[in-house]
Amino acid sequence: MTWQTNPWAGVFAATLCAFREDQSIDETGLAEYVERLVAVAGIQGVVCNGHTGEVMSLLPRERMQVTRIVAESVARSTRRVKVTSGVMAEGTVEAIEHAQAAKEAGADSILLMPPHHWLRFGRTSPTAVAFCTEVADAAGIDIVLHQYPAWTKASYLLPEMIEIARHPRVVMIKMGTRDMSRWLYDYEQLKQSSPETTIVTCHDEFLLPTLLEAADGALIGFAGFAPRLIVELVHAALDGDYARAKRAQKTVAPLARLIYNFGEPGCGAHQRMKVARWLLGHFPSPHFRRPIQPLAGKEINAIRDALEMIGPTLTDAF
């Protein structure tokens, strides 16, 4: 099976979440945004309730609400793409409950994040593996495993990922290890053990290098920001068309510097992404969920100025 025919390969867009000024979810604005994303040829799936979608600030019922809006927006489209909903929970029972709620709301799969108390206290290998496999056993929905950076205590070791990936419900690994020295080796070892499980990059800041070295696609917030541009870059890289990929990278690079400021994806980057898309008329509002505070006027003006400098090359990005 080639990447072009694999339903779990290619470009998956992590979606932003639209809010009104009073912090409530803008259902109409979110639906219109998702419909525009889905209409872009080459978008293989949309992933809501991830870090880009501010999952940390959403109540459980709101996560289900967002999933329902996204799934209904996809259902209205002439293009049928995968709907994945993020699950961030501190315990197995809670994660299963959230996964089942996502399925009920219309998701095809969940993006399973590790419990965040591991970031502080760590965990044993049996605990890490059991968390993922027990959710996979009980939830009745396909799973995209979210691998956190290698420098965190919540990152899965390679033997753990190999064991988890063997579960038939684990269809994809969102590889966020950010350890470029191990990228190819880990990819090869996982593919040798579980060849049907796709491995996609979420390295917005190392997008082209990871794609060229070894990847089945990308699951990134950048695709929820500039979908046509990212589809062009990812497809060119997966096809081995280096010259075409480099042409796309000339627009990706200044945008990445604007959004990520030479760092990793995070709340600040996601906020700049939302504001930039709003400034360009492609998102309903710049509002970010508290406790993140609104960007100051001078910061918004700086983003506006940077977008104007990038200028005409953005025409086909969105």
Share of the chain above pLDDT 70, in %: 100
Q: Is the pLDDT score of 88 beyond 80? A: yes
For 116-128, what is the mean pLDDT? 98
Q: Is the pLDDT score of 312 beyond 90? A: no
For 274-283, what is the mean pLDDT? 96
Instruction: Give the pair of three-digit tokens for residue 85.
Output: 């909903």
d(CA 45, CA 135): 22
Quick one: 10-241 is in which CATH superfamily? Aldolase class I (3.20.20.70)
Q: How many CB atoms lie within 10 A of CB 246?
A: 13
Please give the pLDDT value at position 188.
98
- DSSP-assigned states of every residue in 166-181: TSTTEEEEEE----TT
Please give the pLDDT value at position 64.
98
For 181-196, what is the mean pLDDT? 97
Local confidence band at 315 (pLDDT 50, 70, 90 cut-offs): confident
For 257-276, what is the mean pLDDT? 92
Q: What pTM was estimated for this model as a whole?
A: 0.97
For 162-181, what is the mean pLDDT? 97
Q: How many CB atoms lie within 10 A of CB 221?
A: 25
Please give the pLDDT value at position 314.
82
Please give the pLDDT value at position 313.
76
Residues 6+ apart with CB under 8 A from 12: 43, 44, 45, 46, 47, 82, 84, 200, 217, 218, 219, 220, 223
- Tens-place pLDDT, residues 211-232: 999 999 999 999 999 999 999 9
Q: For all residues of the chain together, what is the average pLDDT? A: 96
Show me where the domains of the chain are located: 10-241
For 37-60, what is the mean pLDDT? 98
- Tens-place pLDDT, residues 288-300: 999 999 999 999 9
For 51-61, what is the mean pLDDT? 98
Name residue 25's beta-bridge partners.
Answer: 19
For 125-149, what is the mean pLDDT? 98
